């Protein structure tokens, strides 16, 4: 089943500025874990952010379960964002809040304004959050403030928060670039494991090609806003990597 179809996607940050995405097309299917690789500035993060409209595309189509999302406004856009979880490079936690409250904030899209103002969450949500915190190995830390945790633990909170909204797609933007190599591999393994178990397709901007090759089944290679490669990980080879990164073939 096709979850996401992107057709001829274009983006620029200002009307007179350069085109950052120059007509990108690809499809994400239900069991895909896509890596988006390419040199710094290639447009990887912009591409991820167009999908949930944190960046407004300047052209093209984005079909999420066959529904065009580039024209959604107001409530419809909020509902789209509820269906798409996001994991961030810098974790985007609220430092002064507890681990539990950070994870529960993943449910805010489902909670009435009044309830969310007083942070009253249904018992089911609390059970769901505890279950996820157990799965990411943080059950002993639920009441700690987010800023008491290590980087790897903070990203685990970010993973639990994104999954708390029962997403139908996960966008993951440089999940490991603030982490050391050992923790990076653990975090990628955890995301992969949770996404597989919960059957959530993923689109992951990742600068580390080794991690991309290890954990992702498909790869999109971007260079200067153009798609250079789109296919199964096993079809990626050294010559293509050199082309994407614009290096001499070694
Ligand atoms: P990548 O994730 O591949 O490093 P980005 O999508 O972050 O690339 O950036 C692509 C290009 O868009 C870069 O030239 C960057 O400077 C530019 N860019 C990114 N964000 C903005 C912004 N908010 N305003 C203007 N230009 C931006």
What pLDDT digit, counting tens, does each position of 27-86 carry? 999 999 999 999 999 999 999 999 999 999 999 999 999 999 999 999 999 999 999 999
- The neighbouring-strand residues paired with 59 are 10
Q: Are 207 and 174 in contact (CB under 8 A)?
A: yes
Q: Are 102 and 94 in contact (CB under 8 A)?
A: yes
The CB of 225 under 6 Å from ligand 1? The reply is: no
Residues 215-228 have a mean pLDDT of 97
List, edge to edge, every strand of the sheet that includes 67-68. 19-29, 2-12, 59-64, 67-68
CA 175 to chain centre: 8
At 130 the pLDDT is 96
Going by CA atoms, what residue is nearest to atom 17 of ligand 1? 41
The CB of 89 under 6 Å from ligand 1? The reply is: no
pLDDT digits (tens, 9 = 90+) for 139-170: 999 999 999 999 999 999 999 999 999 999 99
Q: For a ligand 1 pocket test, name from 11, 20, 204 the mutation site with the most ligand atoms within 8 angstroms of its C-beta.
A: 20
Residues 6+ apart with CB under 8 A from 224: 22, 41, 42, 43
User: Distance between CA 181 and CA 186 in Å, rounded?
Assistant: 9
Asked if residue 113 has pLDDT above 70, the reply is no
Asked if residue 249 has pLDDT above 60, the reply is no
Structure tokens at 102: 């950070």
Q: Are 104 and 129 in contact (CB under 8 A)?
A: yes
Q: Are 71 and 57 in contact (CB under 8 A)?
A: no
Q: Are 155 and 91 in contact (CB under 8 A)?
A: yes
Q: For a ligand 1 pocket test, name from 13, 89, 223, 245 the mutation site with the most ligand atoms within 8 angstroms of its C-beta.
A: 13
| CB under 8 A, 24+ apart: contacts of 151-154 | 151/91, 151/178, 151/179, 151/180, 151/183, 152/179, 152/183, 152/186, 152/187, 154/91, 154/93
At 117 the pLDDT is 61
- N-term to C-term CA, the chain: 39
pLDDT digits (tens, 9 = 90+) for 168-196: 999 999 999 889 999 999 999 999 999 99
User: Distance between CA 13 and CA 29 in Å, rounded?
Assistant: 29
Residues 19-34 have a mean pLDDT of 98
User: Distance between CA 62 and CA 47 in Å, rounded?
Assistant: 11
At 109 the pLDDT is 75
pLDDT digits (tens, 9 = 90+) for 235-246: 999 999 999 998
At 108 the pLDDT is 79
The CB of 41 under 6 Å from ligand 1? The reply is: yes
- Split at pLDDT 50, 70, 90, the class of 119 is low
Q: Which atom of ligand 1 is nearest to the CA of 38?
A: 3
């Amino acid at each position: 089943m096709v979850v996401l179809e992107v057709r001829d996607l274009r983006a620029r940050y200002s009307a007179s500025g350069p085109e950052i995405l120059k007509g990108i097309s690809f499809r994400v299917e239900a069991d895909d874990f896509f890596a988006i690789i390419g040199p710094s500035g290639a447009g990887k993060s912009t591409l991820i952010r167009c999908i949930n409209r944190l960046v407004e595309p300047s052209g093209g189509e984005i079909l999420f379960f066959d529904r065009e999302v580039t024209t959604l406004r107001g409530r419809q856009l909020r509902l789209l964002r509820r269906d798409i979880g996001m994991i961030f490079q810098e974790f985007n936690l609220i430092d002064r809040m507890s681990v539990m409250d950070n994870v529960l904030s993943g449910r805010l899209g489902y909670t009435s304004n009044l309830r969310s103002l007083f942070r009253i969450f249904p018992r089911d949500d609390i059970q769901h959050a505890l279950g996820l915190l157990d799965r990411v190995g943080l059950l002993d830390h639920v009441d700690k403030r987010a800023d008491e945790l290590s980087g790897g633990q903070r990203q685990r909170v970010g993973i639990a928060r994104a999954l708390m909204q029962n997403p139908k797609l996960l966008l993951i933007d440089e999940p490991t670039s603030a982490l050391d190599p050992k923790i990076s591999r653990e975090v990628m393994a955890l995301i992969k494991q949770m996404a597989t178990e919960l059957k959530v397709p993923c689109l992951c901007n990742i600068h580390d090609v080794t991690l991309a090759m290890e954990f992702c089944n498909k790869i999109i290679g971007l260079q200067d806003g153009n798609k250079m490669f789109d296919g199964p990980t096993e079809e990626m080879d050294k010559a293509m990597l050199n082309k994407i990164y614009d290096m001499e073939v070694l």
